[in-house]
Structure 1
Amino acid sequence: MPVRIVIGAQWGDEGKGKIVDLLSADAQYVVRYQGGANAGHTLKFDNTTIVLHLIPSGLFNGNSKCIIGNGVVIDPIALVEELEEVQEHDVDLEGRLFISSSAHLILPYHKVLDKVKEKSRGSDAIGTTGRGIGPAYVSKVSRIGIRMDDLLDENALNSKIRKNLKDINVALENVYGEDPLDADKMIEELKPAIEKVKPFVCNTSQKLHQALIDGESILLEGAQGSLLDVDHGTYPYVTSSCPTAGGACTGSGIPPLAVTHAMGITKAYCTRVGNGPFPTELDDEYGETLRKNGQEFGATTGRPRRCGWLDLVALKYAVQLNGMNELALTKLDVLDDFDEIKVCTEYELDGKTSRVFPLDTENVEKATPVYKAFEGWKSSTRDISNFEDLPEKAKNYISFIEDYTGVKFNIISTGPKRSETIVR
């Protein structure tokens, strides 16, 4: 049975939630493998809209078991809020949701550190969500992190929090000029959330290994996108984890040779949240039209997204980096009203053109996009569920992207709802 990774092929916000929701109908397991509550995956079905931040997007379509993997950093208070919201939609989580005992916690001191560090950077701020993601990963790799299995031993948990907070308070007072945090207050505030989360904690990697033995279908869901990968993205303007295919294996416990499909999700144009280079960004009426038509505001923060034309140099890089053997195109309908649509096919850098995505951020910032222009189709693609029914000019646009990347689009989304989808 297939093991499919769903990967953002841009800077995140590509519409992965909808695609995972669609594919989960045929999956026995859906696994979130990295990131934290800084990601928001919006699902729209029937008359319901729900935004998931930590729980896998496969919860509402079919009966798949949902796993929050070891590569995720979990804010227990935020998770409980999400659990309660899901349960309001009459979803029974017992026997369906499992949380890796090896996943690390985001604690209140991580959020404080995130905000004071961003503030101290001034004009060089990364543009984080302030939800403690980066500092939690710092704790993890510094080997002072607190994991989900620590929730099962109250005395050990309290001891670790106090020990960490002792050092953190020194930094808060003497480096950042902030008030120290109270360990007793923090522990007391965490207790209700911990009690609600503990029943879901287990050895999830063993569950997945057994699923592989049993030939069950597994869907691995990433957050953010390939160009935000801490190793392969536009560093330092990246997230603190690996949204790429390699991160799916380390963040879930699935061995690489078990993976059969790597599906990249790309919008029909580009967006980015936060700071960092964005070669095709449009600071004009075209960018504003993309933002308005695409409702490009962060699902987690509400921040307006930066918008621009589709960057095929960056997309090809993501395809190669992840070994993508299938693609999904989202928000095609956002381009319906444009007279002309452009795609970047090359970068001009230091007087030379190239189709290679630079690995150093400085050169990405200096790159000037070279565009190919397409005549717009000027007709609605909303509600179209058959590829042959698309306008001819839209099909030509899609075919050009496929030829450039060497990968076909198996799914084309023509709107936010499940029904507004072409499956080829």
Structure 2
Amino acid sequence: MSFSWSAKDHKSYTNPPSNPTQGLKRPRNDAGNKVTVVLGAQWGDEGKGKVVDLLATESDLVCRCQGGNNAGHTVVVEGKEYDFHLLPSGIINPKSICVIGNGVVIHLPGLFEEAENNEKKGLKGWEKRLIVSDRAHLVFDFHQVVDGIQETQRQATEGKIIGTTKKGIGPTYASKASRIGLRVCDLLGDFKEFSTKFKNLVEQYQSMYSSLTVDTESQLKKLKEYGERLRPMVRDGVYYMYEALHGPPKKILVEGANAALLDIDFGTYPFVTSSNCTVGGACTGLGIPPLNIGEVYGVSKAYTTRVGIGAFPTEQLNATGELLQTRGHEVGVTAGRKRRCGWLDLVILRYAHMINGFTAIALTKLDILDVLDEIKVGMAYKINGKRIPHFPADMELLHKVEVEYETFPGWKSDTSAARKWNDLPQKAQNYIRFVESHIGVPSKLHIGYRVFLRTQTDNKIKPSYWTSRPIGCSSSTSSISLHFKTFSSVACLLNMTQF
């Protein structure tokens, strides 16, 4: 079945088939191919790119659904580091087709610069394997300038900043929500009309920011060149994804950017990004139905990190935090900022699981904890000595919480060389089991390169939070148990210091 069309030239792009819905009728019980979604479960930088890289080796399609080049994923292949910001990490796999969905905002100069930088390191054939949705919105250079102006204004008026990457992501999504943004399809359509819309958009921003100067003619000339270079890669993303879902069997992977606690709706607002980083963003950002969501991997470090400002209940402003930062090489890929570090926080992981329904937790960087005498895990939040029953929406309240910790003895041995579950010290195994049980996600065994997927002989997990008790509370004596199908319940542990 085929009803999508090529965008190799303007004529073919602007003249779709006369009956593009032909063949859409399908049996109601035929959901089509399922997609696997990889999401950040904390504040980003959890190692999603490496997890995607592992899964992408067997994926036919790897998709980005939201965000822009404000996110950074690093993949190491044969000793070479490839840094991806807009390109899906799966582009490194020569057998994978990669999709940039309608929910992504695209800075074209940044996209081509990123591709060229990775070409120098050995990336080949990416242009023939990249599909770009015609509905994706465009980030312009002036959006990035406005991003910086807004941060300066916040500092002057409020004495604090959001801590954006100044990549223009927020202003672009604001243009989109205000219905004045420009999309890929606009750029590839009537360029005279696009030019008029672009100038009007610039004027609107200049009316709000008097210091903003834009050389519109120079910008339009460059945009026209970028558009022609992009044209062969552009497709109608909705039809393309429909064919992928309902055509021959395919393994489809969705690579989330940012993370659950940075989600515009569910994150620690206002210190968040401007898109939906949770599982719903995979549907709206690619045009796929919820029925087609299969596995949902939540990626979490064995501790917690955060870039920029905002509440961070388990942050360690001490020698422990410095040790985690140093051993974990905690420096951001996109902006080069040092990451704040602290203990693993199960309150935020349970909250992220509530929203996303993780079928798996990928726990990364366990080996960073190897040298610690004791390891703490945040279990619940308290205000004035009383546990609170939820993850607070109010950031002032979140700043004030006291964390209730569970303390574990450190295993004090090197786990970086472990290649199977039994290679891990018993105390490390206990730590992982504890995390699994208190999030409510079971695991089963599969062993791969630097990956450990553990078999759970009893597929009944007893997560105490999944009862009438408050979500912030914990109890190992809960009589309520959840039943999971083991084939859809996978947890993986990756030692990524030298990955």
Give the shorter-chain TM-score range.
over 0.9
- Per-residue Cα deviation, 1:123-162 (whole angstroms, up to 9, x for no partner): 2311101110000000001001110111213212211111
**1:299 aligns to what?**
333
**Given the superposition, is the C-alpha separation of residues 95 and 179 from structure 1 closer, same or farther in structure 2, using an over 3 Å criterion?**
closer
1:150 partner letter: D
One-letter code aligned to 1:78: G
Deviations 1:191-248 (A, max 9, x none): 4333322221111221211111123121111111100110011111110000000111
Alpha-carbon separation, structure 1, partners of 2:196 and 2:212: 21
User: Does the 8 A contact of 1:101 with 1:204 survive in 2?
Assistant: yes
The one-letter code matched in structure 2 to 1:379 is S
2:187 aligned residue (151, 171, 174) = 151
Q: Indicate if the aligned counterparts of 1:36 and 1:72 stay in contact, CA closer than 8 A.
A: yes
Contact kept? 2:145, 2:212, Cα under 8 Å: no
The 8 Å contact of residues 26 and 62 in structure 1, kept in 2 or not, is answered as: no
Equivalent in the alignment of 2:14: none
Q: Which residue of 1 aligns with 2:105?
A: 73
Change (3 A) 1:355 1:411: farther
In 2, Cα distance between the equivalents of 1:238 and 1:23? 27
3-state SS of the aligned residue for 1:260? strand
* Other-structure match for 2:234: 201
Letter in 2 for 1:134: G
Deviations 1:357-389 (A, max 9, x none): 122222211111111111111111113221111
| Matching residue's letter, 2:495 | T
- Equivalent-residue separation in structure 2 for 1:21 and 1:282 (angstroms): 31
Per-residue deviation, 1:416 = 4.7
Whole-angstrom CA distance in 2 between matches of 1:125 and 1:61 = 38
After TM superposition, the structure 1 = structure 2 runs for residues 23-34 of structure 1, keeping only pairs within 5 Å, are: 23-34=55-66
Q: Which residue of 2 aligns with 1:375?
A: 409
Q: 2:164 aligns with which of 113, 125, 128?
A: 128
Look up the match of 1:265.
299
Q: Is residue 9 of structure 1 aligned with residue 9 of structure 2? A: no
Give the TM-score, by structure 1 length.
0.95
Q: What amino acid is the match of 1:129?
A: T
Q: Distance in 1 between matches of 2:366 and 2:385?
A: 33
Quote the residue 1:233 is aligned against. 267
- Residue 494 of structure 2 aligns with an amino acid whose one-letter code is S
**Structure (1 or 2) with the greater helix fraction:** 1
Q: Judge which range, 391-400 or 90-99, deviates more.
A: 90-99
Matched residues in 2 for 1:299 and 1:329: separation?
20
- SS across alignment from 1:164: helix
Match of 1:217 among 240, 251, 272: 251
- CA drift of 1:342 comes to 0.5
Determine helix, strand or coil for the equivalent of 2:398.
Answer: helix
Q: Which of 195, 213, 216 is equivalent to 1:183?
A: 216
2:92·2:123 contact (CA, 8 Å) conserved in 1?
A: no
8 Å CA contact retained: 1:345, 1:355: no
- 1:85 and 2:117 correspond: yes
Bigger Rg, structure 1 or 2: 2
- Answer yes or no: is 1:247 the counterpart of 2:270: no
Paired-residue identity, %? 46
Gaps of at least 5 residues in structure 2 are 1-32, 444-490
Cα-to-partner distance string for 1:312-369 (whole Å, 9 max, x where unaligned): 0110100111011111011111111111110000111132114631222222111111
Shift of 1:169: 1.5
The farther-off stretch of 6-15 and 83-92 is 83-92
Tell me, yes or no, if the aligned pair for 1:20 and 1:58 is still in contact at 8 Å. yes
Specify the alignment match of 2:460 in structure 1.
none
* Deviation (angstroms), 1:62: 5.5
Whether the aligned pair in 2 keeps the contact of 1:172 and 1:180 (CA below 8 Å) is no
Q: 1:415 is matched with which residue?
A: 496
- Give the root-mean-square deviation of aligned CA atoms: 1.4
- Give the match for residue 162 of structure 1: 199
Correspondence 1:36 to 2:101? no
Q: What is the match of residue 340 of structure 1?
A: 374
CA shift in 2, pair 1:347/1:190, >3 Å: same
Q: Tell whether the 8 Å contact from 2:34 to 2:245 is kept in structure 1 after alignment.
A: no
Which residue pairs with 1:55 in the alignment?
87
Counterpart CA distance in 2 for 1:191 and 1:296 is 39
Q: Does 1:140 align with 2:176?
A: yes
Runs of 4+ residues over 6 Å off in structure 1 = none
